[in-house]
Amino acid sequence: MTSQTLRWGIIGPGAIAKDFRRGVLDSRLGKLEAIATRNPGKASLAQDFPEARILDGYDAILKDPNVDAVYIATPHVGHAEWAIKAAEAGKHVLVEKPFALTAFEADAVFHAHRKAGTFAGEAFMYRLHPQTKKIYDLVASGAIGEVRSIKASFGFQMPGFIPDHRLFASALAGGGILDVGGYPVSMARFIAGAAVGKPFLDPVKVSGMANLNAEGTDNWASALLQFETGLIAEVSCAVMANLDNVLRIIGSEGRIEVPDFWFANGDRAGGEGRIDIIKGGKTETITTGKQRHLYSFEADAAAEAIFAGKQQFDSPGMSWADTLDNLRVLDKWRTDAGIEFSVEKSANRKLTLSGRPLKSGGTKVPKRKLAGLGKDLSVVALGFEDFRTFSSGAILLDAFYEAGGNLFDTGWVYGSGYTEKLLGEWLTNRGVREQSVVIGKGAHSPLCYPDVIGKQLTQTLDRLQTDYVDVYFMHRDNLDVPVGEFVDAMDAEVKKGRIRGIFGGSNWTRERFDEAVAYAEKSGKQKPGALSNNFALAEMQDVIWDGCISSSDDAWKEWFLSRQVPNFAWSSQGRGFFTDRAGRDKRDNAELVRVWYSDKNFARRDRAIDLAGKLGKSPIHVALAYVLHQPFPVVPLIGPRTLGELDDSLKALDINLTPEQVKWLEG
């Protein structure tokens, strides 16, 4: 990087790239170095970008040593892929809005840049214009009293519906919500934050709707955002309607109106920025004066952050948290409107988010053998109940598999069946069913009866797009039913080939399990081969949910040691007890207090903190390592929601505890 000059490259030569080019030319700290295109022979390129070297292919700009930062100006569907590849190449990025299609994708991009130590920012150009800071200051100072309502829109009229145009095509993530809906949403959150002295504030409730076209994308759409302060924002966007594009902030003592806000009451070349304060029937107009090119401000703000060694914008620019929360609102808006892009569906998303085929052979997650299973399985199992779309869940599933993980935990009741459906789509799409070990669970209360097992397993296999599970657990026990009837039902599924490994009980007592084994031995049926009970360094003082069984005390450990029954342990890290969420003086989380708080557990937590400090890890890593280093087989079930949480959980696999350390942790 040259001294105080940031050398920019642009990926994609479309209209927005031309605007950014003019912004860089008008910036104080930037220089346009190169543009990457898939059609370098196009005659107009030299005219549109006369200062830049024309590079053949997007990869070329990531390899170019004379490019410091990349502006990603591809259609929406390419934003996450090329931002991740830029991080891998050590390049800073400014990504045209939307930063990614969803908050899940954006989180994956930020994860890549966090690891690379590079800058990543979302290019909402209006946020860096002086007009935006002025509006923030006016609201924060109480210029119109208490802010009660915000009305913001960004909409324009296309000449007609063009199915394959980027603004309409489902394959290109078209529609107004993603293209321009982020502007009024981000502004509403920004003003709501100004009203309480924060960089932004997120709504507690979002209700959205849209008019859809034949592509299933939105022609025009509106949403209501309700904030904890009582403030309500009405936001609208359109690609097939000329909206007024005026920002209105209504307060208890007046209102602020900002015409043509997104372009500072001008155009991209620069506007004067007009702010009307209307109080008591009088209007006061404030302007910021004629400014340089609208896009020059974001180029300079990115350069300043990069020169300062920062990885994200300072406010009023879009920080990582700001971008993620903004996309979460857009995600909810789209969900309410019934919009899922074709490019997000499993049939069309054959590659990972970085645009590559799924890789096998990872060794970060080791594998082990268990009696009764014909496949090696990873030492931890992945649970993923929180995802509701293939595109979101596949990000985590891909990362776990590429790290070496192949054990997946599902249940008939999880997500009302969607967890199984998601895993089935992923296994089929990625072609890794035979390399994977799938846990199925059924017969959850109140449907805990022998005749339910086969019926639910039929539904499970249909959702999973497979004809067998590798491991099967009854999700609960029903003591009113003789245990032999449950063994008979599961043994029948083994004989049908629908359970091709071990089965057992989740949340079963020792006595019930022993009784089931004795029945199987006497009747010549397959014996239960595993449990799935809670097991952790912290012992439950009260069960989390009705019908649950904790198996962490000394009596259970003696039982496991003598029988060597594998335990697929849920809540193996204490559900936050070994993080900063817990503490002797922290009693705001009722579940943590009820389930985990005891002198014995806090003493164990203290020792985990002490050992973690010596190992350069976190207490939660020590807690998971404790589970993995028992003298009997334990397979922890982990449930990360993000790639950062997954990476953090896997740090426990680097810890090798001695038997003495295990005993010391127990006290």
Predicted local distance difference test score (pLDDT) of residue 1: 45
pLDDT of 639 > 80? The answer is yes
Q: What is the distance, to the nearest Å, from the Cα of residue 164 to the centroid of all Cα atoms in its chain?
A: 29
Mean per-residue pLDDT, 323-327: 98
Predicted local distance difference test score (pLDDT) of residue 405: 98
Least confident span in 237-251, 262-276, 400-414, 543-557: 262-276
Mean per-residue pLDDT, 287-304: 93
- pTM to 2 decimals? 0.95
Q: How confident is the model at residue 267 (pLDDT cuts 50, 70, 90)?
A: confident
Predicted local distance difference test score (pLDDT) of residue 137: 97
Q: Tokens 């193996």 — which residue?
A: 572
Q: How confident is the model at residue 322 (pLDDT cuts 50, 70, 90)?
A: very high
Alpha-carbon distances of 646 from 261, 401, 446, 567, rounded to whole Å: 41, 11, 33, 21
Q: How confident is the model at residue 272 (pLDDT cuts 50, 70, 90)?
A: confident
- What are the tokens at 314? 């300072």
For residue range 94-117, list pLDDT tens digits in order: 999 999 999 999 999 999 999 999
Mean per-residue pLDDT, 115-144: 96
For residue range 597-617, list pLDDT tens digits in order: 999 999 999 999 999 999 999
For residue range 186-209, list pLDDT tens digits in order: 999 999 999 999 999 999 999 999
pLDDT of 178 > 80? The answer is yes
Vertex 545: Cα angle to 595 and 534 (nearest 5): 70
β-strand 246-251 against 255-259: which pairing, if any? antiparallel
pLDDT of 2 > 80? The answer is no
Q: Please report, as a single letter, which amino acid is at residue 45.
A: L
pLDDT of 590 > 90? The answer is yes
Q: Please report, as a single letter, which amino acid is at residue 55.
A: L
For residue range 517-569, list pLDDT tens digits in order: 999 999 999 999 999 999 999 999 998 988 899 999 999 999 999 999 999 99
Bridge partners (DSSP) of residue 635 are 568
Predicted local distance difference test score (pLDDT) of residue 532: 97
Burial class of residue 47 in the structure, from the number of CB atoms within 10 Å of its CB (0-12 exposed, 13-18 middle, 19+ buried): exposed
pLDDT of 270 > 90? The answer is no
